[in-house]
Amino acid sequence: MKQLQKKMMGILIVLSMLVLFVMPVYGQPSDIAGHWAEKQVNEWIDGGLINGYGDNTFKPDNNITRAEFMSLANRTFGFSEKASINFPDVSLGAWFAEEIAKAIDAGYLSGYDDGTIKPDNPITRLEAARVLTVLLHLNTNGDFFSVNQFKDVSDIPDWGKGYLNAVVSEKYFQGYSDGTVQPSNPITRAEAVTVLSRALGEIFGAAGVYGPEKDKSTIQGNVTISAAGVSLRNTRIEGNLNLTAGVGDGNIQLDNVVVTGRTFVNGGGSHSIVVQNSALGEIVIDKKKGETPGIVAKGTSTIEAVTLHAGARLEETDLTGEGFNFVQVSPSFKNNAELILEGDFTVVVHAPSKIDVTRGNITLEISEEASGSVVTLGKDVVLKKITADAPVEVKGEGAVERAEINIPGVVIEQQVKEVIVKQGVTVSIGGQTMDKSNVVNTGTSSDTGTSSNITKTILIDGMKCDECLAKVKSALSALDGVVSLDVVIGRATVTSNKDVSDAVLKVAVESTGYTVRSISVGGGGSSSDGGGSSSSNSANPPVLTADTAHNTVSQAIYLSFADDPAWRGAITVVKDGSTTLSSSQYTIAAGTIIINAGVLNTGTHTITVSASGYNDATVTQSINSITRTILISGMSCGMCVQHVSNELSAIDGLQIVSVEVGRAVVTLTKEVSGDIIKNAIINAGYTVTSIQ
């Protein structure tokens, strides 16, 4: 009960600006019944989160002003720092003057070209989308697939398409029943409730311990932590985790927590975010004020990637898991910010940076945007390899094993065991000027030999259309050394005549707007279709774990296991029941076997993985159906419903839930492409405006 009260207090603070000058109402408001937001509004009223007006109404379609929305955002994300402002339409005595100063300091909203900020104007859907996109660090790149489905996409200004596409893609915003998105419409009270409910998810706004003591709970959607002193344990988050500026320089503890989305760090002190026995995807660090945030990985923790827009301290302590797999300094990295590393890291640097490595081993890539970076190595640090495509200084007491220098202006104070210098480039190493002609290597490697091709498989999230393939192909084919490519939805196989690092591959793919899930050596599934192997003398395989996060007919299935390279390399067959899957239907990666979307239909499947010299590994995988809503234009009569029903009912794997004028709801029991559905509607004589 205490935990619930703490959560309620945090959310009530966040939403206080929605109920300015509003008297409490008991029971359901009289003007909500039949409204599209009835369910969300009533749920929040029942939970004591919002109130209606004294006349027993909620006025769901009343607009929210820009000032009210700024105040709401400031409270939600804990912004307290204020910029100096001078807007002619903001008097110092106005209630919203401080809120506007906070918004300007936080950088999520600005004034108009005429110098005003128009605090009393209703905020539009597009303006609200921009605020959410900036505050939640949503991706504004890509192919605008989500907004291109709306009939009024031409009404969205070019500057705003990325913002609106981002919030629609994340399902924070939705279009209207007529197939439009209406970007210039004001956002209403009902829309504000709905958007916040989707975007913020569950809020922990007061210090305390949350999550079950023994069992594990699952939170469907995002989680927001807006106060210091929060300890979250034994929880799986099916969404993003936001550590807002409200955390300040305080402490946060994550113990046995899984985050399937991204973790955004906008608060925390120098050693204060402790990740214990947890699994996180990408961490995005962009703290604006106060101490440099420190993230400590302990126990079995694995953190797939870290993207830095601001300085940070990353530390591995008492670690038995993989820790930090990949670190990227973003091109937007703040000037003079410092990155402090304690542990083993692979780092790609895209902006001038000060990097201080105090303990462990590090591999560094200095991109051409990172000119002037300085790297300091502590006494017991080993720089395993540095690739320099921009001038950089390396100093300190640590050792440097290998340096690949592709540009003048590189200075390395230490002696280097192995140096590879591009033709025509000079470098200062150990106080001596060297070029390709006088480099002396004390190591055993050489750049004069000939190596065989290397193939790597990249698993990619976010690809939804044929245009995605061309973008990824273009980005990867531009890399030096790439000799062949095979790109399909969700996967790219890259063969190169040199070792193109995982970091370079990741950056290339993510420059297109999509997300790299994993990179592994090898070309996808096994090419063998032979029988399995199991005998009394065989070794035991790793335990396979079913996918409970991506288990619908439209998703690829990720079977996980404790990575065993020997077993993984010995895999010969993957079966669904008695059916042997072809090598093109699955991909084998470190700790994961990915079965392509559409291979498994709705139901329960027994997946068997056979490997030479091992007993078979078996797991039961359930596949759920998925419901889609089809918005249709051109329907105007009762017969239209019958026409659409006839065409949809002929599609294999599609079951009709309901059909009405302008809309159909269907359940898919196997993968059915959007094109098949669109063609069926066209055959009926109408047009699909969107499929949701």
The larger pLDDT score, comparing residue 512 to residue 452, is at: 512
Task: Please report the pLDDT score of residue 638 as a whole number.
Answer: 64
Task: Please report the pLDDT score of residue 396 as a whole number.
Answer: 95
Q: What is the mean pLDDT of residues 203-214?
A: 89
pLDDT at 639 over 70: yes
Domains of the chain: 2-200 (no CATH), 205-434 (no CATH), 454-521 (3.30.70.100), 626-691 (3.30.70.100)
* Three-class HEC string of 373-425: EEEEECCCCEEEEEEECCCEEEEECCEEEEEEECCCCCEECCCEEEEEECCCC
Task: Please report the pLDDT score of residue 11 as a whole number.
Answer: 44
Cα torsion 482, 486, 488, 492 to 10°: value is: -40
Would you place residue 666 in the very low, low, confident or very high pLDDT band (cuts 50, 70, 90)? confident
pLDDT at 16 over 60: no
pLDDT digits (tens, 9 = 90+) for 539-556: 788 888 888 876 777 777
Q: How far apart are CA 649 and CA 382, in angstroms?
A: 64
Task: Please report the pLDDT score of residue 27 as a whole number.
Answer: 60
pLDDT at 631 over 90: no
Q: How far apart are CA 439 and CA 425, in angstroms?
A: 11
pLDDT at 4 over 70: no
Torsion angles phi and psi, residue 130, rounded to 5: -65, -45
Go through the chain and tell me how many residues it has. 692
Task: Please report the pLDDT score of residue 658 as a whole number.
Answer: 84
Q: What is the mean pLDDT of residues 178-200?
A: 87
pLDDT at 686 over 80: yes
pLDDT at 531 over 80: no
298-331 per-residue burial string, b: 16 or more CB within 10 A, e: under 16: bbebbbbbbbbbbbbbbbbeebebbbbbbbbbbe
pLDDT at 17 over 50: no
pLDDT at 533 over 60: no
Q: What is the mean pLDDT of residues 466-479?
A: 77
Q: How far apart are CA 644 and CA 660, in angstroms?
A: 9
Contact of 377 with 363, CB cutoff 8 Å:
no
CA dihedral sign of residues 17, 22, 24, 29: negative
Strands 654-660 and 663-668, bridge-based pairing: antiparallel
Task: Please report the pLDDT score of residue 214 as a whole number.
Answer: 86
DSSP summary character for residue 124: B
Strands 230-238 and 208-210, bridge-based pairing: parallel
pLDDT digits (tens, 9 = 90+) for 395-431: 999 999 999 999 999 999 999 998 888 888 899 999 9
The larger pLDDT score, comparing residue 527 to residue 506, is at: 506
Q: What is the mean pLDDT of residues 102-113?
A: 88
Task: Please report the pLDDT score of residue 372 as a whole number.
Answer: 93
Q: What is the mean pLDDT of residues 226-235?
A: 93
Concatenate the DSSP letters of all residues of 141-189 into one string: -S--TTGGGSTTGGGS-HHHHHHHHHHHHTTSS---TTS---TTSBPBH
Task: Please report the pLDDT score of residue 598 as a whole number.
Answer: 79
179-188 per-residue burial string, b: 16 or more CB within 10 A, e: under 16: bbbbbeebbb
Task: Please report the pLDDT score of residue 175 as a whole number.
Answer: 85
Q: What is the mean pLDDT of residues 231-256?
A: 92
Q: What is the percent of the chain with per-residue pLDDT over 70, rounded to a whole number?
A: 88
The least confident of 16-20, 183-187, 408-412 is 16-20
Q: Which of 523, 510, 405 is nearest to 456 (CA)?
A: 523
Q: How many beta carbons lie within 10 A of that of residue 92, not counting itself?
A: 7
pLDDT at 465 over 80: no
Task: Please report the pLDDT score of residue 356 as a whole number.
Answer: 96
C-alpha distances out from residue 156 to 127, 152, 185, 301, 527, Å? 11, 7, 11, 43, 48
Q: How far apart are CA 202 and CA 480, in angstroms?
A: 45
Would you place residue 44 in the very low, low, confident or very high pLDDT band (cuts 50, 70, 90)? low
Would you place residue 521 in the very low, low, confident or very high pLDDT band (cuts 50, 70, 90)? confident
Q: How many beta carbons lie within 10 A of that of residue 227, not counting itself?
A: 23
pLDDT at 340 over 70: yes
Contact of 662 with 632, CB cutoff 8 Å:
yes
> What average pLDDT is seen over the chain?
83
Q: Which of 44, 37, 43 is nearest to 19 (CA)?
A: 44
Q: What is the mean pLDDT of residues 75-89?
A: 86
The larger pLDDT score, comparing residue 273 to residue 465, is at: 273
